[in-house]
Amino acid sequence: MASLHKRGPFALIGALLFAAACQTSPASEAAVLESADTQTMTKVKSVLAGAMNVASVDLGAGDPTESPVISVLPPRPSPYEDRSPAMPVLFDLVVKGNVCYAVRRETGEAYELDGVACRPFRDLP
């Protein structure tokens, strides 16, 4: 009982420092790309290909300047397959501070989209 009492102040100080650290980091929020020009999409595809450990990716339908979700299509079936159970991999676009990230939905891993401009999804007209 005495040891719990002695740890009490240290535990309280630690909890307060943790809470303060959490409040100082910017929150992430859903985002869309500022532009879908060739240069921007080349950068996005490069990051997503790296995230999936492949040389290149094909993106699914959708406008990343209007939707905060980007889908990466699975590889096409080989000539010996008539169908494939593979599903697209979804990435959620988020902005944290001034930095844009693609977050892989199935794992939660975030990949920085260096040099890519995003804006919060809520700012759309």
How much is the mean pLDDT over the chain? 84
Q: Which two tokens stand for residue 98?
A: 């001034």
> With 90 as the cut, is the pLDDT of residue 76 above it?
no
- Between CA 13 and CA 112 the distance in angstroms is 33
Q: What is the mean pLDDT of residues 94-100?
A: 96
pLDDT higher than threshold 80 for residue 12:
no
Round to whole Å and give the CA distance between 113 and 51.
Answer: 11
Cα(121)–Cα(3) distance, rounded to whole angstroms? 50
Q: What is the pLDDT of residue 36?
A: 97
What whole-number percentage of the chain has pLDDT above 70?
80
22-68 residue pLDDT tens: 444 678 999 999 999 999 999 999 999 999 999 999 999 999 999 99
**CA 65, CA 59: separation in Å to the nearest integer?**
14
With 70 as the cut, is the pLDDT of residue 111 above it? yes
> Given a cut of 50, is residue 123 above it in pLDDT?
yes
Average pLDDT over residues 109-125: 93
Query: Widest CA span of the chain, in angstroms?
Result: 72
Q: Which residues 6+ apart lie within 8 Å of 41 measured at CB?
A: 59, 64
Q: Which residues are 102's β-sheet partners?
A: 93, 111
Q: What would the mean pLDDT of 115-120 be, rounded to a whole number? A: 96
